[in-house]
Each structure stands twice: as structure tokens, then as C-alpha cells.
Structure 1
């Protein structure tokens, strides 16, 4: 009985160590260094936007600054610049087998952007042409939410490349949907995507 008892006592820590080691071996490895550059297309940040950021929280959180451009043919007047602060959260990024590929089935995030131009105003009072309270929103500033998916190729201590796609909406679209039920999801959602390069 003493031999059986000793075997249980020594075998249990050994089994726990093996389980921990196996779990750690299956955990996704860091994709690259914390810095990254972004090329983003559409999605409420301009026709095209460039920027970058720094990964935080064990590379699960990606805050970034983007500078977007809207050409005259799409803006209706003058070319526009859009400045966007954006943060994306990656809850789960499993590695695909033994390869250097990783997938993130769902990403979640939020953003705030500011659009330049004389036709845009921060507040109703700064618009100058309307009575107080006519506009409750700012046409220059938008608050947005987003959800997406991505794939990443790279490995630890190497540069990595990420391709992603996102659906986003903003405060004005959401309020419009609540007050106008004839609007469909496709009317308030915007598709965007891009590439990130880590280093």
C-alpha cells in the first residue's frame, strides 16, 4: 500500500507538469515584434489609409493611428483627410498545425475618426448656418464599432504579414437604424480590410 501511495503522490505532480507543458506547446507563439505598419482600404477610414501601431497585452490588443485619403471624385468637393484612432482586440489566434500560419476567427474593436474639410463641423454651433440644436451630432467626428477576421503568416523573432477584413458601423448609422426601421444591415455596415506588417 505504501508503494501505491507513493506512486500516486509522485505521479500526480508529474502528470500536471506534462499537462502544463502540452498546453504551453499548443499556445500560439508571438507573430512578430510589437511594432506594425498598416495599409487599410475603405471601412470608414478613407478610400485608402496608412498608419501603424504597437501591440499590447501579449499581442492581443492593437491600438493604431491611421491617416486616410478620400479623392475629390468620391468626396464631391475637395479631397479629404481622415484621421482615425483605432483599437482591435484578438481574443484567440490558434496556429494552424505546425505551420507559420495563424488564424483569428473573430476580432473586435472600436475607433474614432475626424474628417477634415470646411463642410464638416465639430458641433452644431460651429456649423454657423443652423439654429441651436438643429444637429445633435458632429459631422466631423464619428465613433465606430467593428468586427472582423484575419490570417497571419510569420513566426517568433521574424517579420509577419497579416491580412484582415472587417465590418464596421458608427454612431450615426446606429441611431439612424433605431429611428428608421426600413434601413437594412447592409445600409449601416461598411466593409474594409487591409494588410499589417509587423517588425
Structure 2
């Protein structure tokens, strides 16, 4: 009787260790804070690639993008380096699915365009009289807002990384000042449209 009790206690102890481990293994994996971004247009180049790390309970997404601007669009080939941060205030789940929708995400950016034709300041360019240009041709700062749709991964029993599709409508400081000083500009002339996909792991 004493031996049977020891066997039962041993099985209970074994089960108390194995069952939680199995439950943890069977649970759907959660995407981590790292992400990669493939971005199109929106003032970051024709196409840009980069990534970042989510913070603040994965509501804030600081990232770095490196974009390419072809000659046919700007007259010169150029690279655009962008520091960007997005904030997602809320992301409600679509029913009981593995999809989330964010009606609006907002953020800001600053970028630098390479190339000898782009200057940091009018004086550093050395080609124009002082005060001729008040703005920098190389540096732009702006803001954006737009929706996003996220798949949380783990599809049909096989893990798929978290994926987000997004669109962004934005502008920058040069466009805003131009709109204030030139009332003939239309809204579409001071706005930029971009979008892309993010993959998380």
C-alpha cells in the first residue's frame, strides 16, 4: 500500500511538470518586438527597406529605412535615409479571427537625401547668395497617418510571422509652408501617399 502511494505521488509530480510544458509548447507562438519593413513611396524613395523594434507594449514602432530614388523620378539617382516612428493607439481584433485592424496609426519622420545636388543649408551649398533658400534640400521632416491590417500569425497549425499591411497619408514642413504662402496649391500637391508591409518575429 505504501509503495502504491509512492507510485501515485510520483505520477502526480511527473504530470505537474510535463503538462504545463506541453501546454506551453502547444500555445500559439507570439511575435516578438523585432520587425522588417518594405515601404513604397511616401517621401522615403520609390522603395525603401528597413526595420525596427517595438516598444511601449508594442504600440510604438521606431525604425530606420533606406530608400532608393531612381533617376527618372528625380533627375539624379539618390538614397534616402529615414528615421521614422509610428504610434498605434488601438488595434481591435476582428471577431474571433487572427486579424487585427487599426483604423488609424500616426507618426513622424525625418529623412536625409544623399547626393551633391542636395544641400543641408543654403550656405553650405556655396552656389547661392545668403538667404536665397531658407530650407534644406537634403533634410525633410513630416508627419503621417493611416490605417493598417495585421495578421497575428499561426495559420493552419503552422507558424507564420506576424504581418502588417499599412497605408500612410503624409506631408512635410516644406509642403506645409508652401501651402500657407501659396494658396493656389491643391491638397493633392502637398500630400504624399505611401504604404508597405511589416513582418515581425
TM-score range, shorter chain: 0.7 to 0.9
Q: Is the 8 A contact 2:150 2:163 kept in 1?
A: yes
The CA distance in 2 between the partners of 1:167 and 1:80, in whole Å, is 23
Check conservation: 2:153, 2:163, Cα contact below 8 A.
no
**1:94 maps to what in 2?**
92
Paired with 1:134 and 1:37, the residues of 2 have a C-alpha distance of 40
Distance 1:161 1:99, change over 3 A: same
How far 1:146 moved relative to its partner? 0.3
2: CA distance, partners of 1:56 / 1:97: 26
Paired position in structure 2 for 1:81: 79
RMSD of aligned Cα (Å):
1.5
User: Aligned with 1:125: secondary structure?
Assistant: helix
Unaligned runs of 5+ in 2: 1-28
Task: State the partner residue of 2:50.
Answer: 51
Query: C-alpha separation between the residues in 2 aligned to 1:49 and 1:35?
Result: 17
> Deviation per CA, 1:73-117, whole angstroms, max 9, x where unpaired?
11213x110000000000110011111000000010000000001
- Once the 2 structures are TM-superposed, how far is the Cα of residue 131 of structure 1 from its aligned partner? 1.1
Distance apart, 1:155 and its partner CA: 4.7
Provide the residue aligned with 2:118 in structure 1: 120
| Structure 1, gaps ≥5 residues long | 1-29
SS of 2:45's partner is coil
Instruction: Write the mapping of 1:34-183 to structure 2, written as runs, cut at 5 A.
Output: 34-77=33-76, 79-155=77-153, 159-183=161-185
Q: Distance in 2 between matches of 1:69 and 1:158?
A: 29
CA distance in 2 between counterparts of 1:31 and 1:101 reads 14
Normalising by structure 1, we get a TM-score of 0.82
Shift of 1:137: 0.7
Q: Hey, what's the Cα distance between the residues in 1 that align with 2:30 and 2:104?
A: 17
Residue 130 of structure 1 aligns to a residue in which SS?
coil
Q: TM-score, normalised by structure 2?
A: 0.81
Which of structures 1 and 2 has the bigger CA Rg? 2
